Amino acid sequence: MEILLDGRSALITGGSQGLGRAMAKEFCDSGANVAIVARKQDALDAAVAEISKTGRGKVIAVAADVSTAEGCKQAFAAAVKAFGQVDILVNNAGTSTRGPFEQVTDEAWQADLDLKLFAAIRLSRLAFPGMKERRFGRIINTLNNGAKAPQAEGAPTAVSRAAGMSLTKILSKEGAAHNVLVNGLLVGKIRSNQWEARHEASGSNENVEAYYEDAGKELPMGRLGLAEEFAALACFLASDAGGYISGTAINVDGALCPVV
């Protein structure tokens, strides 16, 4: 089945690397115009150069910090200025911040909630009215499987992601009558720049491919997932083909999460 997003415009936060970059490429290859948002201009420029090679849609870079209200406004305004509207919003910005509960400071809690939860709240609030008026909208929230099955030392990230799952359900109920569909995609262990940073920090002598292979041995499928596999599902949900799916929190983790 060919997924087409011709005529649609998307805004993807955390779009310069990893899952965000893979989604931006998939959307643009499928015909959508895409605004990718991140804080570092050089990473954005590299992503735009790569995506533009194969993309049928246009892609623009927006340097903004969506952990702030002003950054969210800036990102949304840039996408609307470039494309006229935002049909598809992907709230993907985030990092995996976790540690022993007693060691997580107020500052760490606030930073995590600002980046993962409040960014999604603020951008969804900006996008929702236009989506409802046009009777088409897709909001996709990148979460992780800790939202359903939190582990010890999983705070603050599991808490902010669980809140994001509740936000997904609320928005899906309010958007359903207007053809505004809202879903969450829960990441398991997927190859990304975050894993490569862990590899570098570990000081391991093995190359990154061997590191990925070792990391995947304990998983049900025996391997880590690919960002492209995650992006393919996001593209389906963003399209007309996913037109009756809303309010779900889908595990994209190769059967890792114990909760359906």
Per-residue pLDDT reduced to its tens digit, 98-127: 999 999 999 999 999 999 999 999 999 999
Decide: 25 and 90 in contact? Cβ < 8 Å. no
pTM of whole model > 0.75? yes
Supply the pLDDT for residue 197.
Answer: 79
> Who contacts 119 (Cβ-Cβ below 8 Å, separation ≥6)?
13, 66, 67, 72, 91, 93
225 secondary structure, DSSP code: B
Supply the pLDDT for residue 201.
Answer: 81
Supply the pLDDT for residue 217.
Answer: 93
Q: What is the pLDDT of residues 66-77, one digit of tens each?
A: 999 999 999 999
Supply the pLDDT for residue 99.
Answer: 96
Supply the pLDDT for residue 96.
Answer: 87
Q: Phi/psi at 42 (nearest 5 deg)?
A: -65, -40
Residue 73 CB-density burial (10 A; 0-12 exposed, 13-18 middle, 19+ buried) = middle
Segments in 38-156 forming alpha helices (H): 41-54, 69-83, 106-113, 119-134
Relative to beta strand 9-13, strand 180-187 is: unpaired
- Beta bridge partner(s), residue 249: 184
| Segments of the chain with pLDDT less than 70 | none
Which domains does the chain possess?
9-189+234-251 (3.40.50.720), 191-224 (no CATH)
Supply the pLDDT for residue 198.
Answer: 78
> Who contacts 49 (Cβ-Cβ below 8 Å, separation ≥6)?
none
